[in-house]
Amino acid sequence: MENLKLRLLSNFVIVFLLLAFGWWSILLYTKNKDAFIAKSNYLQIVMAAKGKVANSAEFEKTVEFQELEDSYKRQEWMILGEALFFIISLVIGIYIINRGYNREMIAAQERRNFLLSITHELKSPISSIRLVLETFLKRDLEKNQINQLSGTALEETERLTTLVEDLLLAAKMENHYQPVLESVDVVYLIEGLVEKLRTKFPNVDFSFTHNGLIPNIMADKTGITSITINLLENAVKYSPAPAVIDIQASRNGQLLELEFADQGFGVTEKEKKKIFRKFYRTGSEDTRSTKGTGLGLYIVKEIVEAHQGTITIEDNQPRGSIFKIKLPLVMKNKQIS
Ligand code: ADP
């Protein structure tokens, strides 16, 4: 509400400035014209009294009148030019201020959403772990019940760990994340991660293909792990069950190309530009019903760029998305740690 009032007030001041300046310009323009007419009338009377001119036609041909008219025209152009310059600068200024303001508002909204979702994401696993522990304390349970509850608590602990890791990674990104480079067998790494995810999501159909000619790359192992996990968990999260996910790795010259394709809800053209922003979550119903913080893709993009790579998103056929990553096999001007 306070923001709206401020906005209205600033718009009012801007409109007032524009109108006032427009009014002053018109006034100056007409006054200049009046002054010119008065001056030329006076000059004509003086010249007629001295017998230099007999009528207006003769007067308008004199050097004195031409000089007066030239000076009037110059002033007229000056007034018009200044008015135009002022109005254009004002309009550009207003546009820039408004754009900055809108961006700031969107960022604030995204931060608020983030705080809301993070509170929920932190609270819900903590509550369920607490519930499990309280049940252990209060009741004598059978072995299979203990196993089941411990399984739930472990799952929730893992959720918390992932969330904290994401938060720490995002904080690291703010302070110029520097990948710790080592020789990484990406195919082997992804195969291992896919195996783990197959256990975690037994109903998801994961397939991983590669052309077998992929050399090790110089990369940050933790970073590549985070990219893979984030993209694959998103593919599961944003697909109707049973999810079908294809991962491909190939070498193209000095680049390693990775593709993560799903057949999920997909991302609209408009959202494609935004989903890599920090805290951004799409506004669709499908997304709102899922858990998340809007940090995953931001982290992925930062890690890819820290490896001098690129990430793009395309539509999959007949539906879903493909996230495409290109990483150089060896980064330019980078020392191996
Ligand atoms: P989170 O998943 O925590 O919301 P992300 O940064 O990982 O945050 O993703 C940002 C948004 O991008 C998500 O809210 C979702 O709407 C959209 N998104 C990400 N991956 C996919 C995908 N594979 N399919 C459809 N939408 C996706």
Q: 3-state SS of the chain?
A: CHHHHHHHHHHHHHHHHHHHHHHHHHHHHHHHHHHHHHHHHHHHHHHHHCCCCCCHHHHHHCHHHHHHHHHHHHHHHHHHHHHHHHHHHHHHHHHHHHHHHHHHHHHHHHHHHHHHHHHHHHHHHHHHHHHHHHHHHHCCCCHHHHHHHHHHHHHHHHHHHHHHHHHHHHHHHHCCCCCCCEEECHHHHHHHHHHHHHHHCCCCEEEEEECCCCCCEEECHHHHHHHHHHHHHHHHHCCCCCCEEEEEEEEECCEEEEEEEECCCCCCHHHHCCCCCCCCCCCCHHHHCCCCCCCHHHHHHHHHHHCCCEEEEEECCCCCEEEEEEEECCCCCCCCC
Distance 274 CA to ligand 1 centre (A): 10
Among the ranges given (118-127, 153-162, 284-293), the one the predictor scored with the smallest mean pLDDT: 284-293
Among the ranges given (44-53, 154-163, 326-335), the one the predictor scored with the smallest mean pLDDT: 326-335
Of all protein residues, whose CA lies closest to atom 2 belonging to ligand 1? 292
Tell me: pLDDT of 335 over 60.
Answer: no
Distance 273 CA to ligand 1 centre (A): 12
User: Which carries the bigger pLDDT value, residue 41 or residue 105?
Assistant: 41
Of all protein residues, whose CA lies closest to atom 12 belonging to ligand 1? 275
Tell me: pLDDT of 239 over 60.
Answer: yes
Confidence of residue 289 (pLDDT cuts 50, 70, 90): low
pTM metric for this prediction: 0.71
Among the ranges given (76-80, 169-173, 250-254), the one the predictor scored with the smallest mean pLDDT: 169-173
267 lines ligand 1 (CB under 6 A): yes
Distance 234 CA to ligand 1 centre (A): 6
Tell me: pLDDT of 167 over 50.
Answer: yes
Tell me: pLDDT of 102 over 90.
Answer: no
Of all protein residues, whose CA lies closest to atom 7 belonging to ligand 1? 296
Mean pLDDT throughout 62-90? 92
The overall average pLDDT reported for the chain is 89
Please give the pLDDT value at position 190: 97
Please give the pLDDT value at position 337: 46
Please give the pLDDT value at position 22: 87
Q: How far is CA 41 from CA 54, 67, 77, 78, in A?
A: 13, 14, 22, 23
Please give the pLDDT value at position 134: 95
